[in-house]
Amino acid sequence: MTERASASPYLTIKNDLLSQIRSGQLRPGDAVPHEETIAQQYGVARATVHRAMRELAEEGFVERKRRAGTRVAAVGGRTTKVDIALVRDEIERTGAPYRFKILTRNVLVEDDFAQRILRVSSKQPVLYLEILHYAGDQPYQLEERWINLDVVPSAETQPFDATNPNEWLIATMPYAEAEHKFSAQNATANQAKALALAEGDALFVIERRTALDAKMITYVRMLHPGQTYAMAATNFSLSTKN
């Protein structure tokens, strides 16, 4: 009930192999026939088979080695993809109106934590912000953000009234590299108050460090009520489209 309409030959081959792997006809460790062999079976060029196999390898289903050939991968852990959407999109997708409020805003100099996390020297100023994002009247996310003013000096005078800091930063430095971490924390008194929770309630925390050219741009903690928030991982699956 899965594989239908396999338009292009390379997708047909890819899906056929995937079915065999899933159904257990091909078990982990088993050898997959050579590209040339498969090409002849299907009456296609080797390049076509190659593409199917390359994608299966990228998605972790098979392992390929020159001379040794292709084998079904030993399973082990799983890899999933996670989308970290813009808060605004996330909220608006639920139908609720989005708004945000800046709770705290100040420039830190000689602040130990800021210096360490943004890897700046003691003289360099860092902008610290606390922002609360609402879904309608419900607090949805509390954002704690540090911005390296050495790299983005214009942030210091930005009003952040129409556009929130995250979206402003993205517009300013679109393709910086990001690194994420997920964890769980008990809400501090302050955090609980902002999010309308009780102190100690579990928070789902996303941390992000953003850098460009080895220079840290910003570090942000996004805190969500653990009861209501859950992050779904889109599962690697059968190759439907392309």
Partner DNA sequence: TTTAATTTGTACGTATGTATT
Partner DNA sequence: CAATACATACGTACAAATTAA
- The single residue among 179, 188, 189, 240 that binds a second copy, judged by CB under 8 A, is 179
Give min distance, CB of 238 to DNA, in A. Answer: 15
* Contact partner, 36, from a second copy, DNA, none, Cβ < 5-8 Å per class: DNA
Contact 229, 204 (CB under 8 A): yes
Q: What is the distance between the alpha carbons of residues 129 and 100, in angstroms, rounded to a whole number?
A: 12
Contact 107, 181 (CB under 8 A): no
Contact 56, 14 (CB under 8 A): yes
Q: Please tell me whether residue 175 binds a second copy under the rule CB under 8 A.
A: yes
Q: Please tell me whether residue 97 binds a second copy under the rule CB under 8 A.
A: no
Q: Please tell me whether residue 49 binds a second copy under the rule CB under 8 A.
A: no
Q: Is residue 242 classed as helix, strand or coil in its secondary structure?
A: coil
Q: Which two tokens stand for residue 159?
A: 């009003």
Q: Is residue 17 classed as helix, strand or coil in its secondary structure?
A: helix
Q: Please tell me whether residue 51 binds DNA under the rule CB under 7 A.
A: yes
Give min distance, CB of 213 to a second copy, in A. Answer: 6
Q: What is the distance between the alpha carbons of residues 84 and 235, in angstroms, rounded to a whole number?
A: 15
- The single residue among 7, 24, 112, 159 that binds a second copy, judged by CB under 8 A, is 24
Stretches 64-72, 77-85, 136-144, 194-202: which one binds DNA (CB under 7 A)?
Answer: 64-72
Give the position of tokens 């079976």. 41
Q: How many CB atoms lie within 10 A of CB 223?
A: 24
Q: Please tell me whether residue 75 binds a second copy under the rule CB under 8 A.
A: yes
Contact 209, 178 (CB under 8 A): yes
Q: What is the distance between the alpha carbons of residues 93 and 231, in angstroms, rounded to a whole number?
A: 14
Q: Please tell me whether residue 34 binds DNA under the rule CB under 7 A.
A: yes
Chain Cα centroid distance, residue 143 = 17
Q: Which is nearer to a second copy, 22 or 116 (CB)?
A: 22
Q: What is the distance between the alpha carbons of residues 32 and 219, in angstroms, rounded to a whole number?
A: 45
- The single residue among 67, 78, 81, 123 that binds DNA, judged by CB under 7 A, is 67
Q: Which is nearer to DNA, 60 or 226 (CB)?
A: 60
- The single residue among 28, 57, 163, 193 that binds DNA, judged by CB under 7 A, is 57
Q: Which is nearer to DNA, 32 or 135 (CB)?
A: 32
Residues in region 134-193 near DNA by CB under 7 A: none
Contact 60, 73 (CB under 8 A): yes
Give min distance, CB of 226 to a second copy, in A. Answer: 3
Chain positions contacting DNA, by CB under 7 A: 8-11, 32, 34-36, 43-48, 50-51, 53-54, 57, 64-70, 242
